[in-house]
């Protein structure tokens, strides 16, 4: 199913960009540490202003070892070429000590609509939890992809026991109704 693969790649790209951009806004918070909700709220404005290269300076140390500044910038430019971000909704915030989980939903419009089952798809949303931890008294986001997420959960087993976790979910609007794409990675326990 080519359309399903395209939609999944798009939702994965959105999730990666959200996670990476959240790290930048967390570190730019003027209050030492701040709270997780504030970090997520500041993220959206920064991402929309397309300050991609600047985001790299605020990634957690582990992600900087796996990703160059140029790779991050190119990834975010590809996202911008495909999708216009519209709004961010913040749901439940779970915060305990130096760890947090923030439920988010990002809405956007495809710049080039897709055809699916005879209908045009041009709106989508990604619901995903953002994992945060404090590094040097600043919130850092470790949610990037399943590999990074699973590594983090194995490295910090107490995190997995403290929070209610759920997999990311992508949906698109078709005929005025939201339709969810099936993607459910396993979360380690």
Asked if pLDDT for residue 8 goes beyond 60, the answer is no
pLDDT category of residue 183 using cuts at 50, 70 and 90? low
Closest CA to 133 of 115, 111, 155: 155
d(Cα 91, Cα 158) in Å, to the nearest integer? 23
pLDDT of residue 32: 36
pTM here?
0.73
- CA–CA distances in Å: residue 150 to residues 106, 121, 122, 131, 147: 22, 32, 32, 11, 5
Topology (CATH level 3) of domain 2-181: Nuclear Transport Factor 2; Chain: A, (3.10.450)
Structure token digits, residue 23:
């790290």
How do residues 144-169 score in pLDDT, each as one tens digit?
A: 567 767 777 787 888 778 888 888 89
Average pLDDT of span 9-38 = 51
- Judged by average pLDDT, the poorest of 67-81, 94-108, 118-132, 147-161 is 147-161
How do residues 116-126 score in pLDDT, each as one tens digit?
A: 777 788 999 99
- Judged by average pLDDT, the poorest of 16-30, 47-61, 70-84, 89-103 is 16-30
Which residue ranges make up each domain of the chain? 2-181
């Amino acid at each position: 199913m080519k359309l399903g693969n395209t939609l999944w790649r798009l939702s994965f790209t959105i999730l990666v960009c959200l996670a990476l951009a959240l790290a930048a806004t967390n570190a730019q918070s003027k209050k030492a540490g701040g709270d997780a909700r504030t970090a997520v709220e500041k993220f959206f404005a920064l991402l929309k202003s397309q300050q991609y290269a600047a985001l790299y300076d605020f990634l957690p140390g582990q992600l900087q070892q796996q990703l160059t500044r140029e790779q991050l910038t190119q990834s975010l430019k590809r996202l911008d070429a495909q999708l216009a971000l519209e709004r961010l909704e913040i749901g439940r915030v779970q915060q305990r000590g130096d760890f947090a989980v923030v439920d988010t939903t990002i809405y956007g419009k495809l710049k080039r609509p897709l055809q699916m089952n005879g209908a045009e798809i041009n709106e989508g949303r990604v619901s995903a939890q953002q994992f945060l931890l404090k590094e040097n008294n600043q919130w850092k986001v470790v949610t990037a992809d399943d590999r990074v997420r699973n590594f983090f959960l194995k490295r910090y087993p107490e995190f997995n026991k403290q929070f209610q976790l759920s997999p990311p979910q992508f949906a698109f609007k078709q005929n005025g109704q939201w339709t969810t794409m099936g993607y459910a990675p396993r979360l380690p326990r």
